[in-house]
Amino acid sequence: MAFVEVTIDGLAMDMVSNSPVVVLKADDNEKVLPIWIGHSEAWAIAMEISGVGAKRPLTHDLFRIALEAVGCHLEKVEIVDLKEQTFYARLYIKKGDEIINIDARPSDSIALALKSKCPIYVNDELFDIKKEDIPEDMPDVNDPESLAERLKKIDPEDFGKYSL
């Protein structure tokens, strides 16, 4: 398997399924990989992209802090496979000289990678779409200023009731 480093090209909302989509872009070309994710993971990714912090640690912050507390750190994340319309990912956690490989959902892996400032890689075989093939009616919510403003206005009690 060959892996390609990716960055987050944006977050969008699939209007058909009303689900958030994170779009990963290969650093060396125009290939993109859209992955449908849950609302809470989209929230965590959006907060990190926009630079908006929470008053208290959220789940992905807590996991990163716990890793560091036991002398570990997230080395990298890999999106490795697609089976029956479900993506699979791996976390590579380093403790001393040992690398621990853990199965994880891509959405959590991406949020944790952003929190840990570690690279994200995608199995090159998973890319089958180019950026221009993303539907035009899928609104882009990646404008950091707009996203930051929307996140600041959300009451924590409304968590899960928001729309991107």
Domains in the chain, please, with CATH? 3-133 (3.10.690.10)
**Opening angle at CA 34, ends 28 and 37, nearest 5:** 135
Q: Rounded CA gap, 72 and 77, in Å?
A: 14
Question: H-helix or E-strand containing 95?
Answer: strand 86-95
The predicted pLDDT at position 149 comes to 53
The predicted pLDDT at position 164 comes to 38
The predicted pLDDT at position 136 comes to 53
Q: pLDDT means per 10 residues in the chain (164 residues)?
A: 92 86 87 91 90 87 94 97 92 96 96 96 81 47 46 45 39
Q: Rounded CA gap, 97 and 99, in Å?
A: 7
Q: Rounded CA gap, 10 and 141, in Å?
A: 7
Amino acid, res. 18? N
Cα–Cα distances (Å) from 126 to 35, 56, 113, 151, in that order, read 11, 36, 19, 31
The predicted pLDDT at position 17 comes to 83
pLDDT in tens, 67-85: 999 999 999 999 999 988 8
The predicted pLDDT at position 21 comes to 92
